[in-house]
Amino acid sequence: MPKTDAKRFTVLDLLDLNLNEQNALNLRCIGGRKGLSREITVPDLNRPGLALSGFYESFAWQRLQIFGRGENAYLKMLAESSDVETYEKLFSYPIPCCIFTHNLAPSKEFFDAAERGDCPILQTDLSSSEFSSRVLRVLLDIFAPQTTIHGVLVEVYGIGILLTGDSGVGKSETALELIERGHRLVADDVVDIRCVNGSILMGQGANKVIGHHMEIRGLGIINITHLFGVGAIRDKKQIQLVCGLEEWDSNKVYDRIGTEEMTTEILGVRIPKLEIPVKPGRNIPIIIETAAMNERLKKMGYHSAKEFNQNVLRWLESENARALYFNRDDFL
Amino acid sequence: MTEAIVTISNRAGIHARPAALIVQTASKFASKIWLEKDSDRINAKSIMGIITLGASFGTPIRIMAEGTDEADAAAALEALFDSKFEED
C-alpha cells in the first residue's frame, strides 16, 4: 500500500538533516534565505558550467547546482568583466539552491542576483566530489519508493525474512520463538520498506520510538530489547525471503519438491517467496530456520532440490542402462 | 469495500486502551479491515499498527472493510469511535 502523496522535501530540510560523521554534509546557508522553502524534487546534482558560459539548452534546473573550484574561478572572471546577464539568466530558472564547496564564496554581484531571485546559497567545507557522493546517497535514500506492509521482519542466520499472513495465524509467536533461539527482530506488525538502488529492499520498523515491541495474544505488548537484550534486535535489514504463513487448506496444492521458484513483488523488486501451511502441532520456527539455511545455500550456488532431481535422473538412467544390459542375456 | 470516515473525539487520542478496543472489535469480523490516516494505511486487527498510526484528538480516520461482513464491521467500528471508547 504505497503512500499517495510524498512529503515535500525542501532546502531547509536538507540543511536540517541530522547525519553522523561520515555522512555529514556540513552545510550552512550564507544567503538567499527567503528561498529556503524551495522544494527539492529530484535526487540529482548539476555542475552549471555550460549554463554559466551561456548555453542553456537542456539546462537541468531541477537539480541542486554545485559550484566547485572551476565554476568559482569562472564566476570570478565574469565578475571582473561585469557580466551580470549570465547571473540573471541563471536565477530566472527556479533552481532549488546553489551550493559552494571547498568553503568558497561567490562575488557580491552573484550574491545580490541570488537574493533578488530568492535563491538560497549554501556553503560546505567538503570537496566537490566528497560532497556530491554524500548528498546523492542521502537524497536517493529520501526519494526511494516506500511502502508499509503488515508482517514481521526477522533476521535468521543473516537472511532477512518477512513473515506475512492474516492476523492470528502466528507470525508474532513464530518470531518470538526465533528470537529465543538466537535470531533477531527487526520490526513487528508495521514494516516500512524502501527500494534502494532499484533492486534492494530495506525493511525497518515504522516508528523508532515504539519499535522493537511485540504484541503477543495472552501476554500483551512486550519490549524485546529489555527482555532479550540488544543482541536480539536490529534496526534495518535487507529483505531476501518472504514466508507467507497461512492456515492449512486441504484443498490447496502445496509445493512438495521445491524446484519451483515462487516469487512475489514488492516495490517492483522480485523476492523469493515460500508458502508455509500452519496447523496445530507443526513447528513453524524450525521450518523458517531451515528455509533461511536453504536460502543461504542457494546463494552459494548449491540448489538442493535441483541437485536431488538431477541425481534421481542420473540414477534412473543408469538403472535403465543396466536393465538393458541384463536383458540382452535373454536374447542370446 | 465499505468505507466510513470518523474523527477522533477522545482528548488523549488513540493510546493503548482504545487501540486494544479497536482490535477486539475488528477481530470479531472475518473481513479484512484497514484504518487510514493521511496516506498511512494499517491493518485494524494489529494493535501495534494502530498505535503507530499516531492518531491524536481531532484527526480524521478512514475505516475500510472488505469481505463478507464488511458493512457490519464498518458500522461497529464507527460506533466505537463515536462512543469515545467509553472514556470522558
Spell out a b/e string for B43-71, using b for 16 or more CB atoms within 10 Å of the CB, else e.
bbbbbbbbbbbbbeeeeebebbbeeebbe
* Closest residue on chain B to A147 (Cα): B40
CA A150 to CA A167: how far, in whole Å? Answer: 9
CA A199 to CA A293: how far, in whole Å? Answer: 22
Strand A213-216 and strand A200-205: the pairing is: unpaired
CA B84 to CA B72: how far, in whole Å? Answer: 19
Alpha helix positions (H), B3-86? 16-27, 47-53, 70-82
**Contact (CB<8Å) B45/A207:** no
pLDDT top residue among A82 and B35: B35
A 10 A CB-CB count for A74 gives 16
pLDDT at residue A4 in the model: 31
Burial label, A263 (beta-carbon count in 10 A; 0-12, 13-18, 19+): exposed
- A189 chain-B contacts, CB cut-off 8 A: 43, 46-49, 52
Q: Answer whether residue A197 shows pLDDT above 90.
A: no
| CB pairs < 8 Å spanning A and B | 45
Query: Of all residues in chain A, what percent carry a pLDDT higher than 90?
Result: 41
pLDDT range class, residue A328, cuts 50, 70, 90: low
Where do the domains of chain B lie, and which CATH numbers do they carry? 2-86 (3.30.1340.10)
CA A74 to CA B51: how far, in whole Å? Answer: 56
Q: Answer whether residue A256 shows pLDDT above 90.
A: no
Question: What predicted TM-score, i.e. pTM, was given to this entire model?
Answer: 0.77
Residue B52 is nearest to which of A4, A5, A206, comparing CB atoms? A206
Three-state SS for A236? strand
pLDDT at residue A5 in the model: 41
Q: Answer whether residue A67 shows pLDDT above 90.
A: yes
In chain A the beta strands, taken as DSSP E runs, fall at 27-31, 45-46, 64-67, 98-100, 121-124, 146-156, 159-164, 184-196, 200-205, 213-216, 220-223, 236-238, 241-247, 263-266, 269-278
Q: Answer whether residue A259 shows pLDDT above 80.
A: no
pLDDT at residue A329 in the model: 59
Residues of B near A (Cβ–Cβ under 8 Å) read: 16, 27, 34, 39-43, 45-49, 51-52, 54
- A150 chain-B contacts, CB cut-off 8 A: 42-43, 46, 49
**ipTM surpasses 0.90:** no
Written as nine digits, the cell of B24 is 477486539
CA A171 to chain centre: 23
Q: Is the sign of the CA dihedral A54, A59, A65, A70 positive or negative?
A: negative
**Contact (CB<8Å) A210/B16:** no
Instruction: Please report the residues numbered 149 through 188 in chain A whose beta carbons come closer than 8 angstroms to any beta carbon of chain B.
Output: 150, 167-168, 188
What average pLDDT does this structure show over A183-197?
Answer: 91
Q: What is the pLDDT of residues A9-47, one digit of tens each?
A: 888 888 888 888 788 888 999 888 888 889 999 999 999
Contact A28, A122 (CB under 8 A): yes
Q: Per-residue confidence of chain B (88 residues) as pLDDT tens digits?
A: 888 898 888 888 888 888 888 988 998 888 889 998 887 888 888 888 888 888 888 889 999 998 898 888 888 988 888 888 777 6
CA B30 to CA A190: how far, in whole Å? Answer: 21
pLDDT at residue A330 in the model: 58
pLDDT at residue B88 in the model: 61
pLDDT range class, residue A6, cuts 50, 70, 90: low
Residue B27 is nearest to which of A3, A167, A206, comparing CB atoms? A167
Nearest-Cα distance to chain A for B82, in Å, is 25
Q: Answer whether residue A237 shows pLDDT above 90.
A: yes
Q: What is the pLDDT of residues A87-138, one digit of tens each?
A: 788 888 899 999 999 999 888 888 888 888 899 999 999 999 999 999 998 8
Q: What is the pLDDT of residues A284-309, one digit of tens each?
A: 999 999 999 999 998 898 888 888 88
pLDDT at residue A2 in the model: 32
Q: What is the pLDDT of residues A172-184, one digit of tens each?
A: 999 999 999 999 9
Three-state SS for A308? helix
Where do the domains of chain A lie, and which CATH numbers do they carry? 11-142 (3.40.1390.20), 146-305 (3.40.50.300)
Decide if A189 is catalytic: yes
**Contact (CB<8Å) B52/A210:** yes
CA A227 to chain centre: 29
Q: Answer whether residue A209 shows pLDDT above 80.
A: no
